[in-house]
Amino acid sequence: MASTTIDTPAGGVGTPALAPIMPSEKVSGRTWMAVAAGMLGAFMAVLDIQITNSSLKDILGTLSATQEEGSWIATAYLVAEIIVIPMTALLTRVFGMRAYMMGTTALFLGFSTLCGFAWNLPSMIVFRMLQGFTGGALIPMAMTLVMSKLPPSKRATGMAIFGLTATLAPAMGPTFGGYLSELYGWPSIFYINWVPGVLLIGGIAIGLDKEKVQLNQLFNADWLGIAFMAMGLGSLTIFLEEGNSKDWFDSSFIITFAAMAIVGLLGWMVTGTGAMGKQPFVNLGLYGKRNFFAATALSMAMGMGLYGSSFLLPLYLGQIAGYSPMQIGEVIMWVGLPQLFIMPFVAKLSSKVDNRILCSFGLLLFGGSCLMNAYMDATTGYDQLLLSQVVRALGQPFVMLTLSNFAMNGISPKDMPSASSLINMTRNLGGSIGIALLATALTSREHFHSQRIGESVTGFAAATQERLAALTQSFMSKGFDAASASDMALKAVDGIVRREAYVMAYNDGFFLVAIVLFGCIGVLWFSDKVKAPSAGGGGGAH
């Protein structure tokens, strides 16, 4: 099929109308190298969000910290990351894409190394925060590279690779971290960043041209808007991450951050319109575009599903099935492996089929896989979970790729960095909301199911008396006296009740994620019909 060539200058996308018709749109090896380096950066940054989860016990032991204090290791990274993502559009204009990506990656590697050398909890929290602030920029930059450096007919391929970084990394983070920690000790989960980091710097150095630094844009930036954004998003993330452990609005700490989040976000909305006379650092007006608004709403829900399912399943396998991080990894890898093969097929299909149909199909598969996990019992393990993991892997590419197409449909080249920042920020925010909701739901539903089961498992029930008698006899046969054996039998029955209550709570969590994903299908059809461009054009609606 003939397609239109596009002259792409260093700063953006050329105009198809002025370009001659050629058999294909050529993309230089340098450009592909830059795009691949960007994808590596996005994968590394998303991976680092959850890479500490499975190694947390070892880290806390070394730093002499409690589990509750240790939650700040992840929270600090998330807060810094979500603050820097909306700022990447401004920082790219100031330093140029090449210098900014190389500089922020070099700093990210430095702070990753310092995380491995952390001597106490406060130092770890500070280094993780700095790591998040430098690494977070790499996520939207990968999408910006695809949209600004590739011609329309190649963007589906670029977005397919970007989609893989967004879906594979959350699932692989805890597994990869547990594997490295087991073999080489927990500092290795931070040092390993040097491998992709050095490749990234090399790829960007070769693949992108130098651009002029415009420091005047930094001095004239809307710093009041940036301050409101940082306060709003940072406080909201702390509220979501720490709310469940502090009993939400029973805590003055949580109430304070909820109030700060409201003030910050409202202030950002006011300054983001340009009402204060300054040019906004990110274009919030993009939310006024119907397709973009629908795509960001769905991106938030997808973040809830993506990070929520990645939060629930490892927790269930560790707590109920007693799996080690390595065994959990063997289950979770089935969410990743099939995606490597199906993503190119989805990229091709996205230029031929209405993306609303593809996205609906993906949401049905993803939601269906969560529904399959909503009927687990205490014996559920690798064999029983394999099919649901494969179904999830088949569904996720259809959603991630098409959402990117919806979001970027009709966006002008100058707004692409803003659009990329906003959609990635929204997905990460959705992940934080999803995990907060599910953590709270797990706690409350476990209490609910414990009470319901407890109503049946009483000392007066014949079945309970028989089970206690059998367990007491079993413990006595092992040499325990009657009083100790009876006490141990009671504890064993209590443990079984708690275990079953937790299993039912995990099922409820997966059911909740499934309902959210199914609900998204209705929202999706408010957007316009979109296909990924297979020939020249700007990716407009067909």
Residues 426-483 have pLDDT tens digits of 888 888 888 888 888 888 888 888 888 877 766 666 777 677 777 777 777 777 777 7
Most confident of 106-115, 129-138, 415-424, 474-483: 106-115
Q: Is 247 left (phi over 0), alpha (psi -120 to 50) or beta?
A: left
Residues 53-67 have pLDDT tens digits of 667 777 888 888 776
Question: Which range (31-40, 401-410, 418-427, 432-441) has the least confidence?
Answer: 401-410
Mean of all residue pLDDT scores within the chain: 80
Q: Which residues, including other chains, have CB under 8 Å from residue 440's CB and lie 6 or more apart?
A: 243, 244, 248
From residue 82, alpha-carbon distances to 86, 134, 256 in Å are 7, 11, 19
425 vs 412: CA distance, rounded Å: 19
Most confident of 127-141, 328-342, 399-413: 127-141
What is the SS3 assignment for 511-538? Answer: HHHHHHHHHHHHHHCCCCCECCCCCCCC
Q: Which residues, including other chains, have CB under 8 Å from residue 131's CB and lie 6 or more apart?
A: 48, 77, 80, 108, 111, 112, 115
pTM assigned to the model: 0.77
Beta strands 21-22 and 3-4 are antiparallel
Residues 357-392 have pLDDT tens digits of 888 999 999 999 999 999 988 888 888 888 998 898
201 vs 105: CA distance, rounded Å: 7
In this structure, are residues 459 and 465 in contact, taking their beta carbons and an 8 Å threshold?
yes
Residue with tokens 């970084």: 165
In this structure, are residues 5 and 151 in contact, taking their beta carbons and an 8 Å threshold?
yes
| Per-residue pLDDT, 381 | 82
Residue with tokens 């490597």: 340
Average pLDDT over residues 303-321: 83
Tokens of 403: 């959402």
Q: What percent of the chain has pLDDT over 90?
A: 15
522 vs 510: CA distance, rounded Å: 20
Distance of CA 455 to the CA centre of its chain: 40
The band of 291, judged by pLDDT with boundaries at 50, 70 and 90, is confident
Q: Which residues, including other chains, have CB under 8 Å from residue 183's CB and lie 6 or more apart?
A: none
- The amino acid present at 202, given as its one-letter code, is G
Residue with tokens 């990656």: 105
In this structure, are residues 500 and 379 in contact, taking their beta carbons and an 8 Å threshold?
no
541: pLDDT strictly greater than 50: no
Tokens of 421: 């920042």
Q: Which residues, including other chains, have CB under 8 Å from residue 533's CB and lie 6 or more apart?
A: 152, 153, 155, 156, 351, 539
Query: If DSSP codes are grouped into helix, strand and coil, which group holds residue 221?
Result: coil
Residue with tokens 């630094």: 213
Distance of CA 444 to the CA centre of its chain: 24
Average pLDDT over residues 401-422: 80
